Amino acid sequence: MLSLAKLARSLSRRLKFISRPLGKLVYEFYENWLYTQVSEGPIPKHIAIIPDGNRRWARNQGLDANVGHEVGYERLEEVLSWLWDLGVKVVTVYAMSYENCVRRPEEEKAHLFNLMKRGVDKFINERILERYKVRVRFLGRLDIIPENLRAEIRKIEELSSQYGEKILNVALCYGGRQEIIDAVRVLMRDVKEGKVGVDEISEDLFIKYLPLASDLPTLDLSEPDLVIRTSGELRISNFLLWHIAYSELYFCDVFWPEFRRIDLLRAIRAYQKRQRRFGA
């Protein structure tokens, strides 16, 4: 027989459930159902994200663009936790393109760099690295970012180097074309110095010169299984040009600050329904 206290707690839970708006109940039911469907299928090992639409979302709300970046950063924290809880091993986020870093207004860039520094500090100080056993790596032309941010990047990369269960790649001041050109320069230098013969050059060799592929447990982890872009734009924007040759692409209409867990689950469900052929 239920005690009075247990009966009161049970009644309280039921009353809370009944008092919820119907729309929220339907949403929660659908989200849980979708999670069950997705979790029973193959989960992508590597997901790459182009979190687009922060500024347009802010404009639509009558807000300053910097507010959009703030909300977008908070959403990224949530999405990363969803991905890691699903068991995704590698996540690559397009934080800022090379073009963003050289063309955006100085004030906006300063805000973005400060936001990233704050995010790195939070990962360290709130022990997120330890909680998820995640290794953090930054890719791109880091020589053009402020020194105080570079120092924090070096710190988090060193602190997280002991982990490897999960990997977070942050593409900052990054461009796919620039990455390939930089790799070609290093490869040509090795050929000139006799370290590599011209006839030895192959795809398997070349990929080892690309930063994303370095220090990964296996080279195949450098190639995203799924690329997600928000905001309704249907382009790649110079992101991971070598690595996504056979990736599945998913374009989502919502702006990044509005990206929900069901949007992520729908993207993974779409991936699960596709037949990957790798050119065959």
Strands, sheet with 248-251, edge to edge from the N-terminal-most edge strand: 134-139, 166-174, 90-97, 46-50, 226-229, 248-251
> Residue ranges of the domains in the chain?
44-175+213-272
Active site residue 54: no
Per residue in 115-157, pLDDT (tens digit) is 999 999 999 999 999 999 999 999 999 999 999 999 999 999 9
Mean pLDDT of 208-212: 93
CA 20, CA 7: separation in Å to the nearest integer?
20
126-132 CB contacts, 8 Å cutoff, 24+ apart: 129/156, 129/159, 129/160, 129/163, 132/81, 132/84, 132/165, 132/166
Which residue out of 52, 66, 169, 225 is catalytically annotated? 52
Do 45 and 221 form a contact (C-beta atoms < 8 A)? yes
- pLDDT value at 11 more than 80: no
- pLDDT value at 278 more than 80: no
CA 4, CA 192: separation in Å to the nearest integer?
83
Angle at 176 between CA 170 and CA 181, to 5 degrees: 120
Res. 21 pLDDT band, cuts 50 70 90? confident
- pLDDT value at 14 more than 70: no
Mean pLDDT of 185-210: 96
Res. 2 pLDDT band, cuts 50 70 90? very low
* CATH level 2 (architecture), domain 44-175+213-272: 3-Layer(aba) Sandwich (3.40)
Which residue out of 54, 64, 85, 100 is catalytically annotated? 100
Name the token pair of 210.
Answer: 């690309």
Percent of the chain with pLDDT over 90: 83
Per residue in 84-104, pLDDT (tens digit) is 999 999 999 999 999 999 999
CA 50, CA 251: separation in Å to the nearest integer?
10
What does 251-275 look like in DSSP terms, one character per residue?
E-SS-GGG--HHHHHHHHHHHHHS-
Active site residue 182: no
First to last CA, the chain: 64
CA 199, CA 205: separation in Å to the nearest integer?
11
Rg (CA), the chain: 22
For residue 39, CA distances in Å to 10, 83, 87, 266 come to 30, 11, 9, 12
Per residue in 212-260, pLDDT (tens digit) is 988 888 878 899 999 999 999 999 999 999 999 999 999 999 999 999 9
Name the token pair of 252.
Answer: 């989502």
